[in-house]
Amino acid sequence: MAGFNAASPVEAEALLLSCCHSVRWAERVAAHRPYPTVDALLAAADEAGYDLSRADLDEALAAESSALPHPGAPPAARTALRAAHAAYESSFGHAFVISLDGVSPGERLDQVLAGIRSRLGNEPEEERVVAADELRRLARARLAFRLAEALTPRHSGP
């Protein structure tokens, strides 16, 4: 946490942009440093996510890409996922976003396919609300991961 708080605004915003590609979101979260705890930072990131304008959300969603299946997934599953992503992107104009935080690796493909199928029935404005919520959850998980990664000691040798 100390490293994030002490980082230059450019460095902090770059880290934040790697979690959610909304410049306004990253600037807002970085501007409120220092954060006393990781939980306080994550809460601020959530709050800033709720305040994304339509343009901010469009910017963030434009930077997302559809998740690829595990390389070991059967060909039929890979084909089904590609088709589902194409249908979603054709309907809504952006990549399908879903937070899989807490979903076991073996269940992720099924969760993504089920999510796309269920959300394809949404009206565009309803789907924007769902996508925004999923994007907030993704940003939170990515940020927590990057902070934990920064706190993990690196070993330079055996």
pLDDT along the chain (158 residues), means of 10: 92 96 97 96 96 96 87 87 95 95 88 95 96 96 90 48
According to the model, what pLDDT value does residue 106 have?
83
According to the model, what pLDDT value does residue 156 have?
45
∠ Cα 95 98 62 (to 5°): 30
**Are 94 and 61 in contact, with CB atoms under 8 Å apart?**
yes
Q: How many CB atoms are closer than 10 A to CB 120?
A: 15
According to the model, what pLDDT value does residue 19 have?
96
CB under 8 Å to 90, separation ≥6 — which residues? none
According to the model, what pLDDT value does residue 152 have?
56
According to the model, what pLDDT value does residue 157 have?
41
According to the model, what pLDDT value does residue 1 have?
87
Place of tokens 């979260």: 29
